[in-house]
């Protein structure tokens, strides 16, 4: 197994740069990818099991029911390249349905999870060549070819696409086109627009797991950047942004306060928020437009029985 590793210092510098820039802006924002340190990734796995979080259940039901159709779409002898692989639970469903799969390339910034997922999948599918890549998939990078790759197929489940703004999403779709090559295909899972109550509850569960996931970002800043955030002085909220068609997660300051990190001080007014994640919700039509702008056409559109979630099979133009 090859492991493309970035130095820890570089990651820490990027983190510091993003946090300082994000908290210095008029509207305080932090990139959602920093939510996924080891604890954040574990909390996300807990979220996927919550009653309110229909997203994982709906997508998994499509992957189960359409396993044979998905395998036909991908074809035999393929290599699966997964963007934001996380725990890779759904990946096993796809791989198990494939005829003679050759390779699996999980890409993720969450290093601990990436190693665990790669190990588990390599041991369940011993004939598969597993080559994890630890990277921000928004950076421009190559996926080195392996002689036995066969046809490459991209897999981007979990509605992670929804965390990207339109420019990032288009850039990633184009990068996927470069990675997957001529004749490349991709399977992308996106959450569909639905009533706002259902959406908001999915991002603000009664047990408080999503709140812990969001607040963990402040804990991470405290630990890794020497910050002095007092977590009890911030509250998790989820909001619907009608213009963006997105559920936003914010951390609301409960009082006027100042926070110091990286030798800089940041002021927070009461009710001021840090915007930590957007989860955009699509319709079949709005996703098709996005895909087309990124160089892909929709060949297959699968949904669960309740039409909560969409899984799309894409072919490069
Ligand atoms: C919403 S979770 C989905 C996990 C899993 N694929 C699933 O379907 O349950 C997002 C995953 O993408 C990873 N991720 C988020 N932004 C990323 C980025 N910019 N580059 C690489 N990985 C990223 C996170 O670490 C996390 O594992």
CB 162 less than 6 A from any atom of ligand 1 = no
What's the predicted TM-score (pTM) here?
0.95
Q: Please choose from 46, 54, 108 the residue to mutate so as to test ligand 1's pocket, defined by most ligand atoms within 8 A of CB.
A: 108
CB 160 less than 6 A from any atom of ligand 1 = yes
- Between the CA of 270 and the centroid of ligand 1 the distance, in Å, is 32
Token pair 């915007």: residue: 275
What does each of the 317 residues of the chain score in pLDDT, given as a tens digit? 444 445 555 666 899 999 999 999 999 999 999 999 999 999 999 999 999 999 999 999 999 999 999 999 999 999 999 999 999 999 999 999 999 999 999 999 998 899 999 999 999 999 999 999 999 999 999 999 887 788 899 999 999 999 999 999 999 999 999 999 988 999 999 999 999 999 999 999 999 999 999 999 999 999 999 999 999 999 999 999 999 999 999 999 999 999 999 999 999 999 999 999 999 999 999 999 999 999 999 999 999 999 999 999 999 98
pLDDT score for 317: 85
- CB distance 281 to 246 below 8 Å: yes
pLDDT score for 4: 45
pLDDT score for 1: 43
| CATH no., domain 54-194+281-316 | 3.40.50.150
Residue nearest to atom 16 of ligand 1 (CA): 33
Strands 257-261 and 296-303: unpaired
- CB distance 172 to 83 below 8 Å: yes
Closest ligand 1 atom to the C-alpha of 44? Answer: 2
Give CA angle at 13 (8, 14), nearest 5°. 100
pLDDT score for 106: 98
What are the extents of the domains in the chain? 54-194+281-316
Tokens at residue 217, please? 């970002």
- Between the CA of 133 and the centroid of ligand 1 the distance, in Å, is 13
pLDDT score for 27: 97
pLDDT score for 16: 96
In three-state secondary structure terms, 169 is helix
pLDDT score for 146: 81
pLDDT score for 173: 98
- Between the CA of 33 and the centroid of ligand 1 the distance, in Å, is 7
- Between the CA of 117 and the centroid of ligand 1 the distance, in Å, is 13
CB 84 less than 6 A from any atom of ligand 1 = yes
| % helix, strand, coil for the chain, step of 5 | 40, 25, 35
Q: Please choose from 109, 209, 247 the residue to mutate so as to test ligand 1's pocket, defined by most ligand atoms within 8 A of CB.
A: 109
The helix (H) or strand (E) run that includes residue 302 is strand 296-303
d(CA 161, CA 5): 24
pLDDT score for 183: 85
Inter-axis angle of helices 209-225 and 38-47, nearest 10: 180
Residue nearest to atom 14 of ligand 1 (CA): 84
d(CA 215, CA 231): 7
């Amino acid at each position: 197994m090859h492991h493309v590793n970035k130095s820890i210092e570089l990651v820490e510098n990027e983190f510091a740069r993003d946090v300082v820039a994000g908290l210095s802006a008029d509207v305080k924002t932090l990139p959602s990818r920093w939510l996924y340190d080891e604890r954040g990734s574990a909390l996300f796995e807990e979220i996927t099991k919550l009653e309110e979080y229909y997203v994982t259940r709906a997508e998994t039901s499509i992957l189960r029911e359409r396993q044979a159709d998905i395998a036909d779409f991908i074809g035999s002898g393929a290599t699966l390249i997964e963007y934001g692989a996380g725990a890779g639970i759904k990946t096993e469903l796809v791989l198990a349905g494939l005829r003679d799969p050759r390779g699996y390339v999980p890409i993720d910034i969450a290093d601990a999870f990436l190693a665990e997922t790669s190990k588990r999948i390599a041991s369940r599918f011993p004939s598969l060549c597993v080559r994890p890549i630890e990277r921000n998939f928004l950076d421009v990078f190559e996926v080195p070819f392996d002689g036995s790759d066969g046809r490459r197929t991209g897999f981007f489940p979990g509605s992670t696409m929804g965390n990207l703004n339109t420019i990032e999403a288009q850039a990633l779709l184009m990068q996927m086109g470069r990675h997957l090559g001529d004749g490349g295909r991709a399977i992308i899972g996106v959450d569909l627009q639905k009533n706002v109550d259902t959406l908001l509850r999915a991002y603000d569960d009664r047990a408080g797991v999503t709140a812990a996931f969001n607040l963990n970002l402040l804990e991470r800043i405290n630990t890794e950047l020497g910050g002095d955030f007092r977590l009890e002085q911030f509250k998790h909220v989820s909001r619907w942004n009608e213009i963006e068609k997105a559920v936003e997660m914010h951390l609301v300051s409960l009082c006027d306060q100042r926070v110091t990190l990286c030798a800089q001080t940041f002021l927070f007014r009461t009710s001021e928020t840090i915007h930590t994640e957007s989860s955009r919700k699509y319709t079949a039509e709005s996703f098709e437009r996005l895909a087309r702008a990124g160089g892909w056409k929709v060949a297959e559109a699968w949904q669960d029985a309740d039409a909560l979630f969409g899984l799309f099979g894409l072919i490069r133009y």
